[in-house]
């Protein structure tokens, strides 16, 4: 990957009230869970007939309210209801036409079943189960940006050598990263990661993906007749590595936390961050093809990217300098790739959060190497 960069310039940290206003409201969406090893869709629930279900619809209500502990500070109350569906799994061979004479009867039936999944509007979310309920506030590990994108997780994680005294202690954390497209659609990816043996071993337990579209203000009852304009993840094709090759113009905003003796005094209003922006020209190329025998496995440290349906990518990587990077990407057919990355240093402290907007370009003269 080739890159040429420019100097970083400071930008103003977004106001909490602006961020809270941009994320509040009723959001309708779809969700799925994927294997952190194979990237295959995994069951998200078990149905009434003990069948495995692979997709879900979600209805999220995010409401800005006054904090009970401090009436002058607002917080975001989030409540997510969900329904699960689809016992058939991911739609395979989506490039094959169902009317193709060479298609097997089983593939035709699978195609028809998947395309006859119930619509979002056929469910009564007033009687549905609550998937999650939590509060978002100016917490130390929350980093947000002007468009409503954010990265949420701990400020400190246990990273280090194996400690026999903490052998049985394996803390697990959630890292939630959200990307926004056009103000009314957003993608949330939640990595659940376990840090075992005193932080010397990192294991990705779960990768959950949700795409949502804004429906109405939270103060208005959910009686919108607007249909959900998105397919379940099982119905979508997966982004291919070749689609992310070529030349890109990248606009990046980074947020770097400031640590000091008075850091505990900032707990109520979040860790102070310095925001910087830069523009970069970047060129990606595919790695050389490597062939392996059936009994050989590629080192998972080399295969860090999960290529998921809907243009979604996710990766957890420990770089050569020991930096732990948790990243997500969202590619669209318009040639735009949105990225959020969260870095932790070798001391386990949050080092930097980066939001990127990458636009695919076709220059007559390629970027300098």
pLDDT at 293 over 50: no
Q: Does the residue 277 lie in any domain? A: yes
Instruction: Specify the 3-state DSSP secondary structure of 355.
Output: strand
Residue 151 pLDDT exceeds 80: yes
For 116-132, the pLDDT digits (tens) are 899 999 999 989 999 99
Number of Cβ atoms within 10 Å of the Cβ of 64: 19
Q: How confident is the model at residue 363 (pLDDT cuts 50, 70, 90)?
A: low
Q: Count up the domains in the chain and report the number.
A: 1
Question: Alpha helix locations (H) across 58-184?
Answer: 105-115
Instruction: Give the pLDDT confidence score for residue 160 in this predicted structure.
Output: 63
Give pLDDT, residue 10. Answer: 94
Cβ within 8 Å of residue 38, ≥6 positions away: none
Which residues lie closer than 8 Å to 184 by C-beta, 6 or more apart? Answer: 213, 214
Name the residue among 137, 140, 142 with its Cα closest to residue 266: 140
Mean per-residue pLDDT for 46-65?
Answer: 96
- Please check whether residue 369 lies inside any domain of the structure: no
Q: Is the pLDDT of residue 312 over 90?
A: yes
Does residue 42 sit within a domain?
yes
Determine contact, residues 330/264, Cβ cutoff 8 Å: no
- Asked if the structure places residue 97 within a domain, the reply is yes
pLDDT at 183: 80
- For the entire predicted model, the pTM comes to 0.85
pLDDT (tens digit per residue) in 198-257: 667 889 999 999 999 999 999 887 666 678 989 999 999 998 899 998 999 999 999 999
Given a cut of 70, whether residue 292 has pLDDT beyond it is: no
Does residue 82 form part of some domain?
A: yes
- pLDDT over threshold 60, residue 190: yes
**Furthest-apart CA pair in the chain: how many Å?**
71
For 153-177, write each residue's pLDDT tens digit.
Answer: 999 998 766 656 655 668 999 999 9
Q: Which residue has the tokens 């804004």?
A: 214
Confidence band, pLDDT 50/70/90 cuts, at residue 296: very low
pLDDT in tens, 70-84: 766 899 999 999 999
Confidence of residue 32 (pLDDT cuts 50, 70, 90): very high
* Better-predicted residue by pLDDT, 214 or 94: 214
- Quick check: is 224 in a domain? yes
Instruction: Tokens for 20, please give them.
Output: 């809270």
Residue 366's pLDDT band (cuts 50, 70, 90): low
Confidence band of 267 (pLDDT split at 50, 70, 90): very low
pLDDT at position 1, please?
A: 55
Higher-confidence residue: 91 or 188?
A: 188
**Regarding beta strands 55-66 and 312-318, do their DSSP bridges make them parallel or antiparallel, or are they unpaired?**
unpaired
What is residue 276's predicted lDDT score, i.e. its pLDDT?
A: 97
Domain, as residue range, for 139: 2-361
Q: How confident is residue 69, by pLDDT bands cut at 50, 70 and 90? A: confident
48 found inside a domain: yes
User: Beta strand pairing status for 41-42 and 55-66?
Assistant: unpaired
Distance, CA of 309 to CA of 195 (rounded, Å): 28
Task: Please report the pLDDT score of residue 220 as a whole number.
Answer: 81
Q: Is residue 283 part of a domain?
A: yes
Name residue, tokens 């799994």. Answer: 89
Per the model's pLDDT, the better-predicted residue between 8 and 307 turns out to be 307
What is the percent of the chain where pLDDT is above 90?
Answer: 61
Which pLDDT band holds residue 59 (cuts at 50, 70, 90)? very high
Q: Which of 118, 125, 133, 98 is nearest to 55 (CA)?
A: 118
Per residue in 4-21, pLDDT (tens digit) is 556 889 999 999 999 999
Q: Identify the CA nearest to 59 among candidates 107, 126, 150.
A: 126
Res 182: pLDDT:
87
Query: Residue 333: what pLDDT?
Result: 85
Report pLDDT digits (tens) over 346-362: 999 999 999 999 999 76
DSSP string, 144-169: E-TTS-EEE--SB---SS--GGGTT-
């Amino acid at each position: 990957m080739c890159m040429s960069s420019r100097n970083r310039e400071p930008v103003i940290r977004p106001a909490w009230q602006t961020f809270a206003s941009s994320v509040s409201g009723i959001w309708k969406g779809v969700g799925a869970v994927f294997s952190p090893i194979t990237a295959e869709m995994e069951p998200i629930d078990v149905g009434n007939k003990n069948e495995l279900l692979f997709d879900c619809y979600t209805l999220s209500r995010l409401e800005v309210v006054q904090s009970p502990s401090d009436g002058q500070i607002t917080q975001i109350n989030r409540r997510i209801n969900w329904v699960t569906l689809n016992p058939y799994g991911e739609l395979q061979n989506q490039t094959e036409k169902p009317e193709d004479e060479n298609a097997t009867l089983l593939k035709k039936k699978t195609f028809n079943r998947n395309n006859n999944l119930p619509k979002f509007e056929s469910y009564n979310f007033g009687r549905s189960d609550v998937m999650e309920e939590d509060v978002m506030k100016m917490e130390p590990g929350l980093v947000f940006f002007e468009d409503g994108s954010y990265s949420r997780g701990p400020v400190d994680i246990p990273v280090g050598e194996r400690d026999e005294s903490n052998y049985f202690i394996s803390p697990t954390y959630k890292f939630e990263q959200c990307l926004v497209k056009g103000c009314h659609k957003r993608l949330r990816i939640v990595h659940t990661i376990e840090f075992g043996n005193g932080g010397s071993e990192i294991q990705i337990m779960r990768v959950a993906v949700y795409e949502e579209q804004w429906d109405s203000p939270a103060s208005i009852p959910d009686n919108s007749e607007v249909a959900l304009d998105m397919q379940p993840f099982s119905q979508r094709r997966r982004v291919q590595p070749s689609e992310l090759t070529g030349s890109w113009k990248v606009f990046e905003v980074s947020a770097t936390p400031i640590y000091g003796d008075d850091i505990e005094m900032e707990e109520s209003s979040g860790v102070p961050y310095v925001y910087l922006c830069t523009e970069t020209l970047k060129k990606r190329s595919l790695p050389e093809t490597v062939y392996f025998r059936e009994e050989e496995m590629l080192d998972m440290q080399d295969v860090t990217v999960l290529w998921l349906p809907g243009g979604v990518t996710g990766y957890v990587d420990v770089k050569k300098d020991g930096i732990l990077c948790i990243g997500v990407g969202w590619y669209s057919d318009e040639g735009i790739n949105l990225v959020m990355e969260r870095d932790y240093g070798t001391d386990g402290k949050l080092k930097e959060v980066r939001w990127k907007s990458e636009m695919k370009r076709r220059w007559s003269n390629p970027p300098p190497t």
